[in-house]
Chain A
Amino acid sequence: MAMTLRPAEESAARELLRENFILTSLDAVLGWARSNSLWPLTSGLACCAIEMMCAAAGRFDLARFGYEVFRPSPRQADLLITAGTLTWKMAPVLKRLYEQMPEPKWVIAMGSCASTGGPFADSYSVVPGVDYVIPVDVYVPGCPPRPEALIDGILQLKAKIAKPQLTREVIRYGR
Protein backbone atom coordinates (compact mmCIF):
# COMPACT_ATOMS: atom_id res chain seq x y z
CA MET A 1 0.00 0.00 0.00
CA ALA A 2 1.67 3.18 -1.07
CA MET A 3 1.65 6.06 1.33
CA THR A 4 1.66 9.61 0.19
CA LEU A 5 2.62 12.20 2.72
CA ARG A 6 1.89 15.85 2.87
CA PRO A 7 5.07 18.00 2.55
CA ALA A 8 5.20 18.88 6.25
CA GLU A 9 4.91 15.26 7.24
CA GLU A 10 7.51 14.34 4.70
CA SER A 11 10.23 16.55 6.14
CA ALA A 12 9.41 15.32 9.64
CA ALA A 13 9.68 11.77 8.35
CA ARG A 14 13.04 12.49 6.77
CA GLU A 15 14.25 13.95 10.03
CA LEU A 16 13.18 10.83 11.89
CA LEU A 17 14.86 8.63 9.30
CA ARG A 18 18.12 10.50 9.52
CA GLU A 19 18.21 10.29 13.27
CA ASN A 20 17.22 6.67 13.62
CA PHE A 21 18.51 4.77 10.58
CA ILE A 22 21.95 4.49 9.07
CA LEU A 23 21.82 3.76 5.38
CA THR A 24 24.95 2.30 3.99
CA SER A 25 26.37 -0.38 1.79
CA LEU A 26 27.63 -3.75 2.90
CA ASP A 27 31.07 -2.85 1.61
CA ALA A 28 31.29 0.18 3.81
CA VAL A 29 30.17 -1.73 6.89
CA LEU A 30 32.57 -4.58 6.27
CA GLY A 31 35.38 -2.16 5.55
CA TRP A 32 34.69 -0.28 8.75
CA ALA A 33 34.52 -3.46 10.80
CA ARG A 34 37.64 -5.04 9.35
CA SER A 35 39.75 -1.94 9.53
CA ASN A 36 38.90 -1.30 13.15
CA SER A 37 39.63 -4.80 14.37
CA LEU A 38 42.83 -6.00 12.78
CA TRP A 39 44.36 -8.99 14.52
CA PRO A 40 48.08 -9.10 13.79
CA LEU A 41 50.10 -12.29 13.72
CA THR A 42 53.29 -12.39 15.79
CA SER A 43 55.78 -12.83 12.96
CA GLY A 44 58.81 -10.94 14.15
CA LEU A 45 61.84 -12.21 12.31
CA ALA A 46 64.62 -9.90 13.49
CA CYS A 47 65.31 -6.52 15.09
CA CYS A 48 62.17 -4.86 13.71
CA ALA A 49 60.27 -7.17 16.02
CA ILE A 50 61.64 -5.20 18.98
CA GLU A 51 60.21 -2.00 17.53
CA MET A 52 56.94 -3.81 16.86
CA MET A 53 56.86 -4.81 20.51
CA CYS A 54 57.51 -1.18 21.44
CA ALA A 55 54.64 -0.11 19.23
CA ALA A 56 52.40 -2.52 21.11
CA ALA A 57 53.71 -1.53 24.54
CA GLY A 58 52.70 1.35 26.74
CA ARG A 59 54.36 4.41 25.25
CA PHE A 60 53.25 4.00 21.63
CA ASP A 61 50.21 1.89 22.35
CA LEU A 62 48.64 -0.04 19.51
CA ALA A 63 45.76 -0.88 21.83
CA ARG A 64 44.18 2.51 21.32
CA PHE A 65 43.42 1.45 17.74
CA GLY A 66 42.22 -1.98 18.76
CA TYR A 67 45.20 -3.84 17.33
CA GLU A 68 46.92 -5.10 20.45
CA VAL A 69 45.65 -8.67 20.15
CA PHE A 70 48.66 -10.27 18.49
CA ARG A 71 47.66 -13.82 17.73
CA PRO A 72 50.13 -16.69 18.00
CA SER A 73 48.26 -18.74 15.43
CA PRO A 74 47.88 -17.71 11.78
CA ARG A 75 44.42 -19.27 11.73
CA GLN A 76 43.16 -16.48 13.97
CA ALA A 77 45.01 -13.55 12.45
CA ASP A 78 44.26 -11.28 9.53
CA LEU A 79 47.32 -9.03 9.44
CA LEU A 80 50.82 -10.36 8.87
CA ILE A 81 53.46 -7.83 9.89
CA THR A 82 56.76 -9.22 8.61
CA ALA A 83 59.14 -7.47 10.96
CA GLY A 84 62.69 -8.28 10.04
CA THR A 85 65.00 -9.98 7.59
CA LEU A 86 63.67 -12.92 5.61
CA THR A 87 66.26 -15.58 4.80
CA TRP A 88 65.95 -18.16 2.07
CA LYS A 89 65.71 -20.86 4.73
CA MET A 90 62.76 -19.12 6.39
CA ALA A 91 60.96 -18.19 3.17
CA PRO A 92 58.88 -21.38 2.77
CA VAL A 93 57.85 -21.11 6.42
CA LEU A 94 56.62 -17.55 5.96
CA LYS A 95 54.73 -18.58 2.83
CA ARG A 96 53.08 -21.38 4.75
CA LEU A 97 52.10 -18.97 7.55
CA TYR A 98 50.56 -16.60 5.00
CA GLU A 99 48.66 -19.41 3.31
CA GLN A 100 47.29 -20.59 6.64
CA MET A 101 45.72 -17.23 7.35
CA PRO A 102 42.06 -17.05 6.36
CA GLU A 103 40.81 -14.41 3.93
CA PRO A 104 40.59 -11.41 4.09
CA LYS A 105 44.20 -10.87 5.01
CA TRP A 106 46.75 -8.14 4.59
CA VAL A 107 50.53 -7.89 4.82
CA ILE A 108 52.71 -5.07 6.10
CA ALA A 109 56.39 -5.28 5.21
CA MET A 110 58.04 -3.58 8.17
CA GLY A 111 61.55 -2.32 7.86
CA SER A 112 64.00 -2.11 5.01
CA CYS A 113 64.88 -5.82 5.13
CA ALA A 114 61.29 -6.88 4.67
CA SER A 115 60.70 -4.26 1.98
CA THR A 116 63.76 -4.74 -0.21
CA GLY A 117 66.31 -6.84 1.61
CA GLY A 118 67.73 -3.77 3.29
CA PRO A 119 71.46 -3.73 4.06
CA PHE A 120 71.62 -7.45 3.29
CA ALA A 121 69.98 -7.36 -0.11
CA ASP A 122 73.02 -8.83 -1.89
CA SER A 123 73.66 -11.56 0.68
CA TYR A 124 73.69 -15.22 -0.22
CA SER A 125 71.11 -15.98 2.42
CA VAL A 126 68.64 -13.06 2.39
CA VAL A 127 65.49 -12.75 0.32
CA PRO A 128 65.47 -9.26 -1.24
CA GLY A 129 62.08 -8.26 0.14
CA VAL A 130 59.21 -10.41 1.39
CA ASP A 131 57.24 -9.59 -1.75
CA TYR A 132 59.23 -12.38 -3.34
CA VAL A 133 57.05 -14.84 -1.46
CA ILE A 134 53.90 -13.04 -0.31
CA PRO A 135 51.91 -10.06 -1.63
CA VAL A 136 52.43 -6.89 0.40
CA ASP A 137 49.91 -4.10 1.03
CA VAL A 138 51.98 -1.54 2.92
CA TYR A 139 55.74 -1.04 3.03
CA VAL A 140 57.12 0.72 6.08
CA PRO A 141 60.72 1.87 5.50
CA GLY A 142 63.23 2.28 8.28
CA CYS A 143 66.02 0.41 9.97
CA PRO A 144 64.20 -0.08 12.19
CA PRO A 145 61.18 2.13 11.64
CA ARG A 146 60.24 4.03 14.75
CA PRO A 147 57.10 2.73 16.46
CA GLU A 148 55.30 5.84 15.25
CA ALA A 149 56.30 4.96 11.69
CA LEU A 150 54.88 1.47 12.07
CA ILE A 151 51.68 2.93 13.50
CA ASP A 152 51.49 5.29 10.53
CA GLY A 153 51.83 2.31 8.20
CA ILE A 154 49.11 0.44 10.06
CA LEU A 155 46.82 3.44 9.87
CA GLN A 156 47.43 3.73 6.14
CA LEU A 157 46.44 0.09 5.88
CA LYS A 158 43.36 0.88 7.92
CA ALA A 159 42.41 3.59 5.45
CA LYS A 160 43.03 1.18 2.58
CA ILE A 161 40.84 -1.50 4.13
CA ALA A 162 38.01 0.88 4.92
CA LYS A 163 38.01 2.36 1.45
CA PRO A 164 39.79 0.13 -1.06
CA GLN A 165 39.34 2.59 -3.92
CA LEU A 166 41.83 4.81 -2.09
CA THR A 167 44.64 2.70 -3.44
CA ARG A 168 43.78 3.83 -6.92
CA GLU A 169 44.53 7.41 -5.97
CA VAL A 170 48.05 8.55 -5.31
CA ILE A 171 48.56 9.00 -1.62
CA ARG A 172 50.97 11.85 -1.28
CA TYR A 173 53.36 12.18 1.60
CA GLY A 174 52.02 14.51 4.26
CA ARG A 175 48.51 14.58 2.85
Chain B
Amino acid sequence: MAVNIEPVLVRYLIGLFPRLMATDRAGDGLTVVTAPADEVYAVLRALRDDEPFFMDTLGDLTAVDYPDRLDVVYHLYSSACGHKLAVKTSVAKGAAALPSVTGLWPAAGFAEREAYDLLGVTFTGHPNLTRILLPEGFEGHPLRKDYRLPPRPATR
Protein backbone atom coordinates (compact mmCIF):
# COMPACT_ATOMS: atom_id res chain seq x y z
CA MET B 1 0.00 0.00 0.00
CA ALA B 2 1.57 3.26 -1.02
CA VAL B 3 1.45 6.17 1.40
CA ASN B 4 0.69 9.73 0.45
CA ILE B 5 3.69 11.74 -0.57
CA GLU B 6 5.32 13.86 2.12
CA PRO B 7 4.09 17.47 2.13
CA VAL B 8 7.66 18.70 2.13
CA LEU B 9 8.22 16.98 -1.24
CA VAL B 10 5.06 18.60 -2.59
CA ARG B 11 6.30 22.01 -1.49
CA TYR B 12 9.63 21.27 -3.16
CA LEU B 13 7.80 20.37 -6.38
CA ILE B 14 5.83 23.61 -6.27
CA GLY B 15 9.12 25.41 -5.71
CA LEU B 16 10.40 23.90 -8.96
CA PHE B 17 7.19 24.70 -10.87
CA PRO B 18 5.57 27.76 -9.29
CA ARG B 19 2.38 27.52 -11.35
CA LEU B 20 1.31 24.29 -9.67
CA MET B 21 -1.41 23.99 -7.05
CA ALA B 22 -1.74 21.13 -4.59
CA THR B 23 -4.74 19.96 -2.63
CA ASP B 24 -5.39 16.95 -0.49
CA ARG B 25 -8.33 14.90 -1.68
CA ALA B 26 -11.07 14.46 0.89
CA GLY B 27 -11.46 10.91 2.12
CA ASP B 28 -8.04 9.35 1.81
CA GLY B 29 -5.97 12.52 1.70
CA LEU B 30 -4.31 11.74 -1.65
CA THR B 31 -2.34 14.78 -2.76
CA VAL B 32 -3.54 16.05 -6.13
CA VAL B 33 -1.28 18.49 -7.96
CA THR B 34 -2.94 20.58 -10.67
CA ALA B 35 -0.68 21.67 -13.50
CA PRO B 36 -1.34 23.81 -16.58
CA ALA B 37 -1.46 21.79 -19.78
CA ASP B 38 1.69 23.33 -21.26
CA GLU B 39 3.75 22.41 -18.19
CA VAL B 40 2.38 18.98 -17.30
CA TYR B 41 4.91 17.00 -19.35
CA ALA B 42 7.81 18.75 -17.65
CA VAL B 43 6.26 18.12 -14.23
CA LEU B 44 5.74 14.44 -14.96
CA ARG B 45 9.25 14.06 -16.29
CA ALA B 46 10.63 15.71 -13.18
CA LEU B 47 8.57 13.44 -10.98
CA ARG B 48 10.00 10.39 -12.71
CA ASP B 49 13.60 11.44 -13.14
CA ASP B 50 14.47 13.95 -10.40
CA GLU B 51 15.96 13.09 -7.07
CA PRO B 52 13.46 13.16 -4.23
CA PHE B 53 10.43 11.83 -6.11
CA PHE B 54 11.39 8.56 -7.90
CA MET B 55 7.90 8.12 -9.42
CA ASP B 56 8.80 5.12 -11.52
CA THR B 57 5.29 3.70 -11.89
CA LEU B 58 2.26 5.12 -13.63
CA GLY B 59 -0.73 3.62 -11.86
CA ASP B 60 -3.46 5.00 -14.06
CA LEU B 61 -4.18 7.62 -16.68
CA THR B 62 -7.77 8.72 -17.19
CA ALA B 63 -9.78 11.75 -18.19
CA VAL B 64 -12.84 13.42 -16.68
CA ASP B 65 -15.54 15.24 -18.60
CA TYR B 66 -16.65 18.51 -16.97
CA PRO B 67 -19.10 20.97 -18.54
CA ASP B 68 -16.41 23.44 -19.51
CA ARG B 69 -13.24 21.34 -19.83
CA LEU B 70 -11.67 17.91 -19.86
CA ASP B 71 -9.36 16.98 -16.98
CA VAL B 72 -6.65 14.40 -17.52
CA VAL B 73 -5.48 12.64 -14.37
CA TYR B 74 -2.22 10.77 -13.83
CA HIS B 75 -1.79 8.54 -10.76
CA LEU B 76 1.89 8.06 -9.97
CA TYR B 77 3.53 5.63 -7.57
CA SER B 78 7.06 5.18 -6.41
CA SER B 79 8.08 1.57 -5.97
CA ALA B 80 11.39 2.72 -4.48
CA CYS B 81 10.02 5.11 -1.85
CA GLY B 82 6.49 3.77 -1.48
CA HIS B 83 4.65 7.06 -1.91
CA LYS B 84 1.97 8.16 -4.34
CA LEU B 85 0.76 11.34 -5.99
CA ALA B 86 -1.87 12.38 -8.49
CA VAL B 87 -1.30 15.01 -11.20
CA LYS B 88 -4.21 16.69 -12.95
CA THR B 89 -4.35 18.98 -15.91
CA SER B 90 -7.16 20.60 -17.86
CA VAL B 91 -7.65 20.82 -21.60
CA ALA B 92 -10.39 22.46 -23.65
CA LYS B 93 -12.93 20.07 -25.13
CA GLY B 94 -12.57 21.27 -28.68
CA ALA B 95 -8.78 21.07 -28.71
CA ALA B 96 -8.04 18.25 -26.25
CA ALA B 97 -4.39 17.49 -26.94
CA LEU B 98 -1.54 16.66 -24.59
CA PRO B 99 1.95 15.28 -25.05
CA SER B 100 2.04 11.52 -24.67
CA VAL B 101 3.89 10.08 -21.68
CA THR B 102 4.56 6.67 -23.23
CA GLY B 103 8.20 7.73 -23.46
CA LEU B 104 8.25 8.12 -19.68
CA TRP B 105 6.09 5.18 -18.67
CA PRO B 106 5.27 2.48 -21.27
CA ALA B 107 2.15 1.62 -19.29
CA ALA B 108 0.62 4.82 -20.63
CA GLY B 109 0.36 3.22 -24.06
CA PHE B 110 -2.96 1.46 -23.51
CA ALA B 111 -4.28 4.00 -21.00
CA GLU B 112 -3.89 6.87 -23.46
CA ARG B 113 -5.56 4.85 -26.18
CA GLU B 114 -8.49 4.27 -23.84
CA ALA B 115 -8.75 7.98 -22.99
CA TYR B 116 -8.66 8.76 -26.70
CA ASP B 117 -11.22 6.09 -27.58
CA LEU B 118 -13.80 6.91 -24.93
CA LEU B 119 -13.25 10.61 -24.24
CA GLY B 120 -11.51 12.00 -27.28
CA VAL B 121 -8.26 13.26 -25.73
CA THR B 122 -5.44 13.25 -28.27
CA PHE B 123 -1.90 12.45 -27.15
CA THR B 124 0.77 13.76 -29.49
CA GLY B 125 3.74 11.50 -29.95
CA HIS B 126 1.84 8.32 -29.10
CA PRO B 127 3.18 5.42 -31.19
CA ASN B 128 -0.28 4.02 -32.03
CA LEU B 129 -3.19 6.26 -31.08
CA THR B 130 -6.11 4.17 -32.29
CA ARG B 131 -9.32 2.88 -30.71
CA ILE B 132 -8.69 0.12 -28.23
CA LEU B 133 -12.05 -0.92 -26.74
CA LEU B 134 -14.54 0.06 -29.42
CA PRO B 135 -14.50 -1.33 -32.94
CA GLU B 136 -12.68 0.59 -35.68
CA GLY B 137 -15.05 2.85 -37.50
CA PHE B 138 -17.05 3.65 -34.39
CA GLU B 139 -18.19 7.26 -34.46
CA GLY B 140 -18.02 9.37 -31.34
CA HIS B 141 -16.58 9.23 -27.87
CA PRO B 142 -19.13 7.52 -25.64
CA LEU B 143 -17.98 8.56 -22.19
CA ARG B 144 -18.44 12.23 -22.96
CA LYS B 145 -21.57 13.62 -21.41
CA ASP B 146 -22.76 15.01 -24.73
CA TYR B 147 -22.63 11.63 -26.49
CA ARG B 148 -26.05 10.75 -27.88
CA LEU B 149 -26.84 7.04 -27.77
CA PRO B 150 -27.98 5.87 -31.22
CA PRO B 151 -31.41 4.18 -31.30
CA ARG B 152 -31.25 0.46 -30.72
CA PRO B 153 -30.89 -1.30 -34.09
CA ALA B 154 -34.13 -2.82 -35.29
CA THR B 155 -34.43 -6.57 -34.85
CA ARG B 156 -32.96 -8.38 -37.86
**Residues of A bordering B, CB below 8 Å:** 88-89, 121-122, 124-125, 128, 131-132
Contacts and interface: CB of A to CB of B under 8 A. Distances in A.
Interface of B: 133-135, 138, 140, 142, 147, 149-150, 152-153, 156
Contact of B134 (A125, A128, A131): A125
Given A88-B134, A89-B134, A89-B135, A128 B153 contact: yes
Given A89-B133, A122-B149, A125-B133, A132 B138 contact: no
A132 B150 CA distance: 16
A70 to B, nearest CB: 28
The 4 closest A-B pairs by CB, nearest first: A89-B135, A124-B142, A88-B135, A128-B152
B148 to A, nearest CB: 10
Contacts of A131: 156
B119 to A, nearest CB: 13
Contacts, number: 23
14 contacts: A88-B134, A88-B135, A88-B138, A122-B149, A124-B134, A124-B150, A125-B133, A125-B134, A125-B142, A128-B152, A128-B153, A131-B156, A132-B153, A132-B156
Nearest to A131: B156
A121 B155 CA distance: 12
Contacts of A89: 133-135
A121 B152 CA distance: 8
A112 to B, nearest CB: 15
A125 B152 CA distance: 11
Contacts of B142: 124-125
Contacts of B134: 88-89, 124-125
Contacts of A125: 133-134, 142
Given A122-B149, A124-B140, A132-B153, 18 more contacts: A88-B134, A88-B135, A89-B133, A89-B134, A89-B135, A121-B152, A124-B134, A124-B142, A124-B147, A124-B149, A124-B150, A125-B133, A125-B134, A125-B142, A128-B152, A128-B153, A131-B156, A132-B156
B132 to A, nearest CB: 10
A23 to B, nearest CB: 42
In this complex, which of A88, A89, A132 has the most chain B Cβ atoms within 10 angstroms of its Cβ? Answer: A89
A124 B153 CA distance: 11
A161 to B, nearest CB: 23
Contacts of A122: 149, 152
A38 to B, nearest CB: 25
A122 B151 CA distance: 8
A121 B149 CA distance: 12
A3 B28 CA distance: 98
Contacts of B152: 121-122, 128
B152 to A, nearest CB: 6
Contacts of B135: 88-89
A123 to B, nearest CB: 8
A122 B140 CA distance: 16
A6 B40 CA distance: 106
